[in-house]
């Protein structure tokens, strides 16, 4: 019998969603075109070539190295792309993903990425076209809700604040707005105005967000409701403590 990776314990919807995010088997909910993605990332003009920091690997003549022979370079590394970043922010009010699970999703399912996990934001650094692949995956699937998650290169503090009346996570730089029932982004991820309003579609309803979230909350699925998760957390805590204990 072939081994199947097991990602996360638990029987609740939150545990199931966490497994989905980690395994990358998530539902695609919306389409974001390449040009729209380039616009909101703000690293280069849409349609322009990827600027490079070194010639393509094929032209460089790499040294003889067994590791280089075993591991194929990512498309971005092969082409010599610059390293660029994408940063997501997820509201604490039942956002679909969280920094930890965005990081798991990136690190498990993509190569050549450097995810950074912080309390309120999650950044992925990678060669530009590899980074865009991760960003597109996370934006188009159920890992993001246009109202409760957003692309923010700077100024992320809205994640921990109450939602405004329209349900769009507070943003000091006002990058996303609700217009005619859909969420549009009219600035790039650092707050520079862009030429076009990028449409990210309808926000999730409160019920749908509660169903798709990876956040345990007392007012939705409480952490303590999931006996298997608690058991594993206790096990890991106990073992970490026991192995870290060094009497002298």
Give contact residues for other proteins (rule: CB under 8 A): 153-155, 157-158, 161-166, 170, 172-174, 177, 188, 190-193
Q: At residue 78, what are phi and psi to the nearest 5 degrees?
A: -60, -40
Distance CA 146, CA 204 (A): 8
Q: Which is nearer to other proteins, 174 or 238 (CB)?
A: 174
Q: Which is nearer to other proteins, 79 or 169 (CB)?
A: 169
Q: How far is the CB of 162 from other proteins (least distance, A)?
A: 6
Q: Which is nearer to other proteins, 10 or 167 (CB)?
A: 167
Would you put residue 117 in left (φ > 0), alpha (ψ -120 to 50) or beta? beta
Distance CA 75, CA 243 (A): 41
Buried b (16+ CB within 10 A) or exposed e, 116-134: ebeebbbbbbbbbbbbbbb
Q: How far is the CB of 83 from other proteins (least distance, A)?
A: 15
Q: How far is the CB of 95 from other proteins (least distance, A)?
A: 16
Q: Which is nearer to other proteins, 192 or 234 (CB)?
A: 192
Distance CA 211, CA 187 (A): 30
Q: How far is the CB of 139 from other proteins (least distance, A)?
A: 20
Place of tokens 């460089």: 60
């Amino acid at each position: 019998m072939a081994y199947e990776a097991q990602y996360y314990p638990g029987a609740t919807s939150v545990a199931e969603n966490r497994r989905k995010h980690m395994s990358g088997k998530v539902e695609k909910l919306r389409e974001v075109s390449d040009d729209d993605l380039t616009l909101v990332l703000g690293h280069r003009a849409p349609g322009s070539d990827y600027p490079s920091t070194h010639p393509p690997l094929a032209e460089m003549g790499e040294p003889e190295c067994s590791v280089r022979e075993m591991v194929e370079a990512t498309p971005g590394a092969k082409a010599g792309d610059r390293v660029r970043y994408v940063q997501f922010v997820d509201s604490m009010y039942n956002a679909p993903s969280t920094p930890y699970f965005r990081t798991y999703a990136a690190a498990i399912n993509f190569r050549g990425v450097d995810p950074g996990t912080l309390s309120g934001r999650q950044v992925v650094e990678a060669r530009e076209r590899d980074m865009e692949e991760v960003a597109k995956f996370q934006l188009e699937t159920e890992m993001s809700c246009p109202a409760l998650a957003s692309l923010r290169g700077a100024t992320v503090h809205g994640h921990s604040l109450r939602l405004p009346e329209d349900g769009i996570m507070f943003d000091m730089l006002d990058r996303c707005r609700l217009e005619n029932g859909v969420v549009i982004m009219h600035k790039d991820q650092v707050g520079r105005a862009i030429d076009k309003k990028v449409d990210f579609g309808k926000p999730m309803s409160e019920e749908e967000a509660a169903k798709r979230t990876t956040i345990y909350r007392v007012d939705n699925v409480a952490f303590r409701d999931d006996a298997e998760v608690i058991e594993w957390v206790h096990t890991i805590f106990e073992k970490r403590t026991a192995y870290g204990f060094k009497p002298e």
